Amino acid sequence: MKSTTVIKTSDVENFELKLRQAADTLRSGGLVAFPTETVYGLGADAFNEDAVRLVYRVKGRPADNPLIVHIASLHRAELFAKEIPFKGRKLADIFWPGPLTLVMAGKSNIPSVVTAGLSTVALRVPKNAKTLRLLELFGGGVVGPSANLSGKPSPTEAEHVLNDLDGSIDVLIDDGRTTIGIESTVLDVTFDPPLILRQGGLSREAIEKVIGHIELPGHGSVLGRSPGTHHRHYAPKAQLILVRESDSEKFQRLYEDFRRQKMNVAAITHSIRVSGTSHSTRYMENSAEEYARNIFRLLRECDILGVDVILVEEIEDRGIGAAVMDRLRRAAEC
Ligand code: TXA
Ligand code: MG
């Protein structure tokens, strides 16, 4: 067991010094969990094979699922990318720092444990001032899968990271709740038109405004290219059931059926109001952004409360809502 040092960003005294020490920890092969605008990441030096292997080990992550390399700015992309295609550069200019990961042809000196043996590398500049400073101080690239145990909902608060990884990481930078709440959009720009490998915090619509048509994940063909998307993901212990938007009748019926079976039922809705509900009912605004911000936290809370069934009212499948629905469908499949 390691003892995990928690650095709170609200604790301004000596903060720069603490960040320098965190950068040193990365340099010496240690693990540093860091905040981003999407979810918390589990950081290690991308050029240190042993450190990267440790990331897989502590997460329990399958070895065939490659990692995103986090860098301080587009200038650093040249350390990892063989070339940056025109459309990729255009998107990076506009959306970095931000919730967009670009998959490009990778340089041959990247350890294969980072890319799971692929010829491509996934790069992202996260939008969090403290983490950007850490990346700048560190100088290289930092692998950063979400800082959760593999299969669990991604962490949107420092406490989620500690619940999963306390004692396995050296440092955790606690910056409170993340603002977006679901992971970055992963876009493969080695194809033209580029291909979305994972929907996420940046909507398809926003990307298409800049570079025109992009391809969405289909079945079959994309699975081979996007290794992470076929793994078990986002799974709460409870059974998750999706109910179509505004279908109050079905929602209420299911709710009562499960309650009659003495099940502990949680409800997450925006337009539907449930009668006779318990403490584990959450009403959200009718906004995809609010769903995104809260969904992983609520799934974790349901586990802590010992919920058996989570009923979730769907939201519209567009904008960031498409990414939220993708996560919910996966959670419902488990
Ligand atoms: O928002 C995020 O992206 C967060 C924060 C911490 O930056 N990170 C994150 O990492 O979600 P992770 O490891 O949980 O998900 C990375 C995704 C996986 O689906 C993985 O398969 C895909 O990116 N990926 C990484 N490298 C790839 C590559 N070379 N080709 C295709 N997909 C890749
Ligand atoms: Mg993940």
pLDDT tens across 75-85, in order?
999 999 999 99
Instruction: Output the DSSP codes for 186-252.
Output: EEETTSSS-EEEE--SS-HHHHHHHH---BPP-SSHHHHH-GGGGS--S--SSEEEEE-TT-HHHHH
Render pLDDT for 216-264 as a digit per residue (tens, 0 to 9). Answer: 876 444 444 556 665 566 778 899 999 999 999 999 999 999 999 999 9
Cβ of 19 closer than 6 Å to ligand 1, yes or no, is no
- Cβ–Cβ under 8 Å, residues 276 and 260: no
Average pLDDT over residues 32-43: 98
Cβ of 126 closer than 6 Å to ligand 1, yes or no, is yes
Cβ of 39 closer than 6 Å to ligand 1, yes or no, is yes
Cβ of 183 closer than 6 Å to ligand 1, yes or no, is yes
Strands (E), 89-189: 100-105, 120-124, 142-143, 171-174, 185-188
68 alpha carbon – ligand 1 mean position (Å) = 5
- Cβ–Cβ under 8 Å, residues 197 and 187: yes
- Cβ–Cβ under 8 Å, residues 60 and 177: no
Cβ of 228 closer than 6 Å to ligand 1, yes or no, is yes
Render pLDDT for 101-146 as a digit per residue (tens, 0 to 9). Answer: 999 999 999 999 999 999 999 999 999 999 999 999 999 999 999 9
Among 71, 134, 146, 229, residue to substitute to test ligand 1 (most atoms within 8 Å of Cβ): 146
Render pLDDT for 137-154 as a digit per residue (tens, 0 to 9). Answer: 999 999 999 999 999 999
223 alpha carbon – ligand 1 mean position (Å) = 14
- Percent of the chain's residues with pLDDT above 70: 94
Distance of CA 58 to the CA centre of its chain: 17
Cβ of 145 closer than 6 Å to ligand 1, yes or no, is yes
Render pLDDT for 8-31 as a digit per residue (tens, 0 to 9). Answer: 999 989 999 999 999 999 999 999
Protein residue whose Cα sits closest to atom 31 of ligand 1: 226
Protein residue whose Cα sits closest to atom 3 of ligand 1: 184
Residues with CB under 5 A from ligand 2 (ion): 146
Instruction: Indicate if the pLDDT at residue 86 is higher than 80.
Output: yes
- Side chain identity, residue 204: R
Work out the mean pLDDT of the chain and round it to a whole number. Answer: 93
Instruction: Indicate if the pLDDT at residue 199 is higher than 70.
Output: yes
Render pLDDT for 159-188 as a digit per residue (tens, 0 to 9). Answer: 999 999 999 999 999 999 999 999 999 999
Task: Calculate the dihedral angle through the C-alpha atoms of 291, 33, 175, 69, rounding to the nearest 10 degrees.
Answer: -70
**pTM, entire model:** 0.96
The ligand that comes nearest to the alpha carbon of residue 198 is: 1
Q: What pLDDT is recorded for position 276? A: 79
146 alpha carbon – ligand 2 mean position (Å) = 4
Cβ of 48 closer than 6 Å to ligand 1, yes or no, is no
Q: What pLDDT is recorded for position 229? A: 60
Give the whole-angstrom CA distance, residue 122 versus residue 186. 8
Q: What pLDDT is recorded for position 98? A: 98
Q: What pLDDT is recorded for position 92? A: 98
Q: Determine the 3-state secondary structure of 307 from DSSP.
A: coil
Closest ligand 1 atom, CA of 68? 25
Give the whole-angstrom CA distance, residue 244 versus residue 47. 46
Distance of CA 168 to the CA centre of its chain: 19
**Residue 106 φ/ψ, nearest 5 degrees:** -95, 155
Q: What pLDDT is recorded for position 220? A: 44
